[in-house]
Amino acid sequence: MAEHADQRVSFIEQVGPQPRLLAELRRLESRDFEIWLLVAFAIGVFLLGILSFFFPRNFWLVPTVDIKLSPQVLFAIMMFGLLVALFAARRELELKKLRLANLESMLTARNSQSSGLIDTVTNVLNRAFLHEILQGEIQRSERNNRPLTLVMCDVDGFKQVNDRYGHLTGDFVLAQIAGIIKSCARGSDHVIRYGGDEFLVVLPETDEAGAETVRERIQQKLQEWDRNNRFGDTPISVSAGIYLHVAGQTPEKDVAEADIRMYALKLERHRQGLPRRTGTQ
């Protein structure tokens, strides 16, 4: 199950538009020259046959060739070759059509699979895939005795943006933040839209210190984005709760613990009246 999850996530987040299938489509399309070669051969055979039949002396210089075949017999042989070439070209076209149809069906199926797992607004994994990802990463972490850390991120100030500027602007902000979070993670990490304005980052092979580094990257990049793209007087930041997986705990427990730490941080800063920013608890 874990290996299956790894393969599906790798396919979705790293492969993207299925380059192997697209490469195969391009390869098949590039083989058009083979069919045109057969057609050119058939046309050449046909022209030679016509010339040898109607102008045997001018074309062959003698009424018969060295193999002692009359031009008429040679014409018949050439016509047979023409039919064989045309049959081969037709068969190649039909096989190519079948292969292309099969590959297009596979691409459609893969795209349908991907669209069901990718959030259309933020272009990261949606929550439907969360349990499978975490279950696989937990099993791998405990099997190899390696750390696994979760970072639960909640967007501060998002409700004000939605209320004042509308949901289309809110979707734009979410997409920008998702892109920032994803740019701060590695290819082996998983960024998941957990809720409306919440994102969960799953960091395999990462301890709390490593997760803190990721958190700082997110903070720095988001502050830069906010300076250049602030909507009115509404600052945008992210509160992040970090949780290190404990052996034996379920995926649901890990997520709940990361969520608790994130909300504890938000409440503490709210009580202190401090500007909300990314941090850990």
Q: Are 218 and 238 in contact (CB under 8 A)?
A: yes
Rounded-to-integer distance, Cα 97 and Cα 95, Å: 5
- CATH of segment(s) 125-272: 3.30.70.270
- pLDDT at residue 190 greater than cutoff 80: yes
Confidence class of residue 129 from pLDDT cuts 50, 70 and 90? confident
**So what's the pLDDT on residue 5?**
44
Active-site residue list:
197
Q: In terms of pTM, does the model score above 0.85?
A: no
**For the chain, domain boundaries:** 2-117, 125-272
Higher pLDDT, 77 or 55: 77
Q: What percent of the chain has pLDDT over 70?
A: 60
Model confidence over 16-71: pLDDT tens digits?
444 555 555 556 555 555 566 666 766 776 676 666 666 655 555 555 445 555 66
**Among 122, 185, 150, 133, which Cα is nearest to 262's?**
150
Structure confidence at residue 118 as a pLDDT band (50, 70, 90): confident
CB atoms within 10 A of CB 263: 15
